[in-house]
Amino acid sequence: MSQQASPIRIGIAGFGAIGKAIARRLDDGIPGLKLTALGVRDADKARAAYTFKEPVAYVPADTLVEHCDVVVECAPAALLPEIATPVLKAGKRLLVLSSGALLQHNGLIDVARAHGGQIIVATGALLGLDAVTAAAEGTIKEIRMVSRKPPIGFAGAPYVVRNNIDLHAIKEPTLIYSGTAREAATGFPANLNVAVSLSLAGIGPDQTRLEIWADPTISRNIHRIEVDAEEARLSMEIQNVPSENPKTGRITALSAVAALRKLAAPLRVGT
Ligand SMILES: NC(=O)C1=CN([C@@H]2O[C@H](COP(=O)(O)OP(=O)(O)OC[C@H]3O[C@@H](n4cnc5c(N)ncnc54)[C@H](O)[C@@H]3O)[C@@H](O)[C@H]2O)C=CC1
Ligand SMILES: O=C([O-])CC(=O)C(=O)O
């Protein structure tokens, strides 16, 4: 990209904990990128929440494609198809944070293929997806992940509701789920996108094993990953500081910003 090339126009679908943090960073200025539109339900509320230095369009999330080259999806998971489909049909790129929803809507990958679009799954609140995708080029034997959050981080999760788990009664670290990443995606749609992202980087959602602990002794969201591959053994842990949304680690938005920066940068580090 020459220095004179037009900036890549970025749209953000969802103006919550992640969307606001990404928007602020873009508004502060990132070379080669320009925030042009926000996909929101209530434009007046969004306007009141933040004043941008540069003008930004406030539009329904499913029309962002008219204003942008790249759309960042950071809205409730159920909205993924309506946000993603127009972007992919236009052959554009979509950076996805609600990666868990890709499992129920994997037809979106066919839409991307058919129209020359691209779905980019952000590393998000996780780490090491570069090394996991590298290992997946060889032979991975096993991937296990253990996630721990303060109990309040699981409030409202369908699995918790269905199993009548009283989060307030949990006084010591408690294993609340053990199973595959695929089952976790439906049981914890707002909590375990990371497990699905890991599974898509590695050996798939049915082979990736996951334990979830509700832990009142911690204040961070902790994800520990063990990968046993023929070419390497990976042992990784991330301890995330929760954002204004206690389910979401603060690093998640920064991961999206880093991914966006790489779209326009002359030097790109990491796969
Ligand atoms: N991949 C990863 O590592 C992670 C992914 N996530 C996922 O990212 C997504 C966003 O997370 P947060 O920002 O923490 O959630 P949030 O709840 O703070 O923000 C979502 C925003 O979307 C807005 N919204 C609702 N309906 C809308 C509509 N029809 N059109 C436009 N906007 C609408 C809400 O008003 C809210 O402001 C969630 O699906 C979450 O599960 C969260 C953390 C880590
Ligand atoms: O922020 C985290 O620790 C992970 C998270 O919520 C998710 O994967 O949805």
Dist. CA 183–CA 142, nearest whole Å: 17
Is the pTM here over 0.90, yes or no?
yes
Q: Is 164 annotated as a binding residue?
A: no
**Structural domains of the chain sorted by starting position, each given as residue range(s) with its CATH number in brackets:** 8-125+251-263 (3.40.50.720), 129-241 (3.30.360.10)
Please indicate whether residue 98, judged by its CB atom, sits closer than 6 Å to ligand 1: yes
Q: Which atom of ligand 1 is nearest to the CA of 19?
A: 13
Amino acid at 118: Q
Other CB atoms within 10 A of residue 6 CB: 9
Q: What is the pLDDT of residue 223?
A: 97
Q: Which atom of ligand 1 is nearest to the CA of 83?
A: 30
For residue 54, CA distances in Å to 24, 154, 243 come to 11, 37, 25
Q: What is the pLDDT of residue 271?
A: 79
Length of the chain equals 271
Alpha helices in 50-190 (DSSP H): 80-89, 107-115, 129-136, 158-162, 181-187
Tens digit of each residue's pLDDT, the chain (271 residues): 455 589 999 999 999 999 999 999 999 999 999 999 999 999 999 999 999 999 999 999 999 999 999 999 999 999 999 999 999 999 999 999 999 999 999 999 999 999 999 999 999 999 999 999 999 999 999 999 999 999 998 999 999 999 999 999 999 999 999 999 999 999 998 889 999 999 999 999 999 999 999 999 999 999 999 999 999 999 999 999 988 888 888 999 999 999 999 999 999 999 7
Give the residue numbers marked as catalytic: 223
- Closest ligand to Cα 240: 2
Which residues are within 8 A (CB) of 208 and not within 5 positions of it... i.e. 6 or more apart?
A: 143, 144, 145, 180, 181, 195, 198, 199, 202
Q: What is the pLDDT of residue 69?
A: 98
Q: What is the pLDDT of residue 4?
A: 59
Instruction: Write out the two tokens for 109.
Output: 């990958």
Q: What is the pLDDT of residue 12?
A: 98
- Tell me if residue 217 falls in helix, strand or coil: coil
Q: Which atom of ligand 1 is nearest to the CA of 190?
A: 41
CA of 229 to the centre of ligand 1 (A): 34
Q: What is the pLDDT of residue 247?
A: 83
- Tell me if residue 37 falls in helix, strand or coil: strand
The residue whose C-alpha atom lies closest to atom 43 belonging to ligand 1 is: 248
Q: Is 46 annotated as a binding residue?
A: no
